[in-house]
Amino acid sequence: MLKTASLTPLQYEILVKKATEYPFTGIFTDNESLGSYLCRQCGTVLFRSIHKFHSGCGWASFDDAISGKVRNVPDADGRRTEIICNNCEGHLGHVFQGEELTDKNTRHCVNSASLDFVNSIYIEDSEEVILAAGCFWGVEYYLKKIPGVVLTEVGYCGGHVDNPIYDDVKKESTGHLEVVRVIWDKNKQSLEQILKVFFETHDPEQIDGQGPDIGNQYLSAIFYYDAMQKATAEKVMQLLIDKGYKLATELRKMEKFWIGELYHQDYYNRKGTLPYCHGYQERF
């Protein structure tokens, strides 16, 4: 599944146009958590945390990649060796040999913007969707609990302004919805079940927001990547329509995803409190 539609301009410049991050600016350069690194453009699992080491070069460094997932190609500069995702050909960075930094004597020098990091060391295949259902704090709280989910990020999608900030989004001046980006292990979970939890943890019939949160930024929506995701969403929605629900949920093609401010991420788990405008109601 290609996720190019949700890339920010920086991610697009690097993955598609083969640009390079400034050194020491990547979010994964110093990441030491256990898990796996995925291609941001297609979700292919590329590296494990056991491959990662501190090289001091200013970019995330790995002395190995998962077999068959990363391809070496001659760089356009005629001197270096570029590394790309073997599935989508997204640009990752470059590989260097003979530096004697690790026993494997190899350094995959990777742009953080080319990657996602997930908290699973065993994941083999992933899928992603972006969902809107009111205040993203509560939406993330419930989606994060689904078995097989390996990453959630709150942010903004569907607007007309680059790099939106929360204060502008809540004024409804950017056109964005508050959303949650969800990635799951395809061997452990399905989009259909993700969407069923989505519909059971908010009111999909409310047309002006969610609970006491009123405004266009709080509307219910599913942002789909491809025809298969759209068909799955339509199937789940039809199940509810057949039960008599008058759905206000919009089905929308994917747009750029802008990650929200750090203080919004995993909000309720960090605070140790419960959502005030989301709860569980069986619908299926």
- Which are the catalytic amino acids? 109, 135
> How many whole angstroms separate alpha carbon 124 and alpha carbon 144?
19
117: which 2 tokens? 């990091």
Instruction: Determine contact, residues 222/131, Cβ cutoff 8 Å.
Output: yes
Could you tell me the sign of the dihedral formed by the alpha carbons of 36, 38, 43, 46, in that order? negative
81 φ, ψ (degrees, to nearest 5) = -115, 120
Element (H or E) spanning 82, and its range?
strand 81-85
DSSP alpha helices (H): ranges in 16-174?
136-143, 166-169
Q: And the tokens for 246?
A: 């008058």
How do strand 213-214 and strand 45-48 relate by DSSP bridges? unpaired
Comparing CA positions, the residue from 71, 68, 22, 28 lying closest to residue 49 is 28
Q: Are 113 and 40 in contact (CB under 8 A)?
A: yes
